[in-house]
Amino acid sequence: MTELSLRHIKKSYGHVEVLKGIDHQVPDGTFFTLLGPSGCGKTTLLRVIAGFVTPSVGSVHFGSEDVTGVPPHRREIGMVFQDYALFPDKSVFDNVAYGLRARRVPKEEIRRSVNEYLERVGLEGFGERLPTALSGGQRQRVALARALVVGPRVLLMDEPLSNLDAALRVQMRDVIRSLQLETKTTTIFVTHDQEEALAMSDTIAVMKDGRIDQCGAPDDVYRNPKTAYVSKFVGSANLLQAKPVERCNDGICRFEVEGSNFAGRIMSEANDGRYLVVARPENLGIRKAAAAPGECELSGVVISTQFQGYRTSYRVKLKSGSEVNVETFGEMDGSPLTRGDEVIVSFQDKCIFVPEASQ
Ligand SMILES: Nc1ncnc2c1ncn2[C@@H]1O[C@H](COP(=O)(O)OP(=O)(O)O)[C@@H](O)[C@H]1O
Ligand SMILES: [Mg+2]
């Protein structure tokens, strides 16, 4: 039963501030993902939670306990790394048993627990093997069993799937998430892969340059990005400049986008009044141009199409020269669109507005 609390965490190396003030609470038993590009401070924050890095400012709390000064081996954490970090000369059984032996757990109980966890990760019968006789996916399962068998207060994982091939990565997402749900272990998962974050997490914190830019449930972060950065990093987004025209009372604002009238929600205020409209490719409509574009619509020309079975992607060059991606699913009404077709792209009522400048 461990809630993790990060309070005002800052970390500098020399003059460089790598973490710039992280405040966050991870509820007990939830799966929390730090998502961001390389160099944004994910590993540093994970190492602060583990105790390998001491924050310059701030504190880390496990439940009601302030663990900021507690060394890693006393924090009762489990860790899984990108490179597995198994003991190469120990058998699978001995790798998983390591933490229990260090805690002087009785032999019979060790045997029972190790076998239980090997079964849970789908490696029953592999106990006698050495790590070198396992595939990458199997090694990561051993690392996961080793981290969880001791019943850690918090499970920490740093890009654990990055070394695996694509199919295995998808399969391991399920293994990790299922085990986390079964054991109800508070988990902090680090990745730069937005799909992984969306598929596995209860909560995603999108990090940018030492800060959390936005935090929320996967569908919330995807549907309601508050910044252009988050809209581009989580999913793909079409972004066009939007001039505010009128603010209505119901939270809806009117804009002018490339000469057309648009309306939608402002996700966060722009200090300088400059906004971008954000639309996901799958939220845009597309049809052959028969008349002038209406409200929330823009005209353009199809410059490429890609048929991908269940969906078709179109790249459309708008009158202004900007380009947008549109995705449609299933069959289109009427004849299919091809290169050179004049079309109307419809933003419907799904468009949202974010500040143009990153703040
Ligand atoms: N021990 C260190 N000394 C100096 N700079 C460091 C150290 N560890 C990390 N950094 C710097 O901190 C920044 C964030 O690194 P890191 O936390 O590893 O990012 P991420 O895991 O998101 O890729 C990088 O610019 C990195 O060079
Ligand atoms: Mg890292």
| Cβ contacts of 124 within 8 Å, gap of 6 or more | 115, 118
Cα(41) to ligand 1 centroid in Å equals: 6
328 closest CA partner among 352, 348, 299: 348
Distance of CA 83 to the CA centre of its chain: 20
pLDDT at position 359 is 55
Query: How much is the mean pLDDT over the chain?
Result: 93
> What is the largest distance, in Å, between two alpha-carbon atoms of the chain?
79
pLDDT higher than 90, residue 237: yes
* Residue 18 Cβ < 6 Å to ligand 1: yes
- The model's confidence at residue 349, banded by pLDDT at 50, 70 and 90, is low
Q: How far apart are CA 279 and CA 236, in angstroms?
A: 9
| β pairing state of 297-307 and 252-257 | unpaired
Q: How far apart are CA 99 and CA 13, in angstroms?
A: 32
Shortest-distance atom of ligand 1 to CA 192: 22
| Cβ contacts of 261 within 8 Å, gap of 6 or more | 245, 254, 255, 295, 296
Q: Which stretch of DSSP H or E encloses residue 232?
A: helix 228-233
pLDDT of 63-102, one tens digit each? 999 999 999 999 999 999 988 889 999 999 999 999 999 9
Lowest average pLDDT, out of 6-10, 186-190, 223-227, 330-334, goes to 330-334
Best probe residue, ligand 1, of 40, 43, 44, 207 (max atoms within 8 Å of C-beta): 44
Q: Which residue has the tokens 């269940």?
A: 310
Domains, the chain, ranges and CATH? 4-228 (3.40.50.300), 229-355 (2.40.50.140)
pLDDT higher than 70, residue 1: no
| Cβ contacts of 178 within 8 Å, gap of 6 or more | none
Distance of CA 282 to the CA centre of its chain: 20
pLDDT of 73-84, one tens digit each? 999 999 999 888
pLDDT at position 83 is 86
Q: How far apart are CA 252 and CA 301, in angstroms?
A: 29
Residues β-bridged to residue 298: 345
Sign of CA dihedral 118, 124, 125, 131: negative
* Residue 38 Cβ < 6 Å to ligand 1: yes
199 closest CA partner among 227, 173, 225, 161: 173
Q: Are 149 and 141 in contact (CB under 8 A)?
A: no
pTM above 0.85, yes or no: yes
